[in-house]
Amino acid sequence: MSPELLIPLLAAAVQSGTPVLYATLGEMFTERSGILNLGVEGMMVVGALAAFLTAKFTGSPWLGLLAGGMAASALGGIHALVCLEFLGNQTVSGLALTILGAGLADYLGTPYIGQNAPGFYAFDMPVLSAIPFIGPIFFKHDALVYISFLAPLAFWFFWHRTRTGMALTAAGEYPKAAAAAGLNPVRLRWIGILVGGFLIGMGGAYLSLAYTHLWTNGMSAGRGWIAVALVIFAFWRPGRAVFGAYLFGGVMAFQLRLQATGTNLPSSLLLMLPYALTIFVLLLSAMRGKGKSSAAPAALGVNIEPEG
């Protein structure tokens, strides 16, 4: 493939991988605290709607981003209430959240289908965008993409070098020991869900404010579920999440481009690619992870029972 074709494709991969990256990091944040949240798909689309509406009525995409994050975080709060306070089943609660979130976004968003909102636009990063090959792929994007470059580093620092980060890991690995050490694992898991939810909402906001600048129903199109799979693929490590997200971004961009060039392949077969790749990627990580002890947080999906 010639560079004239390859560079735009890779740049598109970075762009369409970014919402998945935010969602993956958000879910990873939550799961590291020991909570399995299968509501990502619903939270993402609610975040996308809240971001769209806020940006539309205030004119500020940044406020939109904030609203998107907060809306998804609030929806995550339901999950926290159900699983942490009412000790409900995490798997089913997450599914309920997805049904609820998708319904809410459709219901509240229907009057705005096809309408536009101000969003984030690409600009060249000074100096860096001039680097040959790398520049046009990574440094001709919008602000949210640049922020997402820093996110994995920030995550690594947070989890390995800060007290809160290590406490969160303890809540996910062995909440009883965390409690014995004077930490409050329930509160830590609340933080895990709410902060993770905010990031998932940012992924949603990216869809309606940067990837497109308009509202359509069902915007997330399975990206939330792909993010859940990518957390497994990434072995709960942020660096690998970047790789996974861009891989998916690449396949989505490739599929769109192929459709646009008017190929003979039917669009429904092309649309299958990301979903088939998800299964394939899980297979791959399962085969690689064979024999090793699981990389998942030890208490993932296990509720904290009250004493007594």
Partner 1 sequence: MFGLNVVKRQEPPKWGSFLIYPGCIALSLCISCLLLAAQGKPALEGMVMLWQGAFGAWYAFEDTLLKTVPIFLCSLGVAVTFRMQVWNIGAEGQFALGAVGATWAVLTFPNLPGWQLMPIMFLSSAVAGCAWGLIPAYLKLRLKVNEIITTLMLNYIGILILQFLVYGPWKAKASFGFPMTEEFPSAAVVAAIPGTRLHWGVAVCVVAAVILTIFLSRSRLGFELKASGESLGAARYARMPYGFLVMLVMGLCGALAGWAGMLETSAVVGRLQPSIMVGYGYTAIVVAWLARLKPWAIGLAAVFLAALRVGTENLMLELQVPAAFGHIMEGLILVTVIAGQFFMNYSIRLGSAEVSK
Q: What does the binding site for partner 1 look like in residue numbers (CB under 8 A)?
A: 38, 42, 78, 81-82, 85-89, 91-93, 95-107, 110, 217, 222, 225, 228-229, 232, 266, 268-269, 271-272, 275-276, 278-279, 282-283, 286-287, 290, 305-306, 308
116 pairs with which residues across the strands? 214
Can you spell out the DSSP letters for 222-256? THHHHHHHHHHHTTT-HHHHHHHHHHHHHHHHHHH
**Least CB distance to partner 1 at residue 218 (A):** 10
The residue (of 15 and 220) whose beta carbon lies closer to partner 1 is: 220
The residue (of 103 and 239) whose beta carbon lies closer to partner 1 is: 103
**Least CB distance to partner 1 at residue 290 (A):** 7
Euclidean distance between CA atoms 200 and 206, whole angstroms: 10
The residue (of 158 and 275) whose beta carbon lies closer to partner 1 is: 275
**Least CB distance to partner 1 at residue 222 (A):** 6
Euclidean distance between CA atoms 46 and 52, whole angstroms: 10
**Least CB distance to partner 1 at residue 1 (A):** 26
User: The tokens 């470059």 sit on which residue?
Assistant: 149
The residue (of 104 and 122) whose beta carbon lies closer to partner 1 is: 104
Helices (H), the chain: 3-32, 40-58, 61-80, 90-109, 134-138, 143-161, 163-173, 175-180, 185-206, 223-233, 238-260, 267-271, 273-288
Euclidean distance between CA atoms 174 and 215, whole angstroms: 42
**Least CB distance to partner 1 at residue 13 (A):** 20
The residue (of 137 and 241) whose beta carbon lies closer to partner 1 is: 241
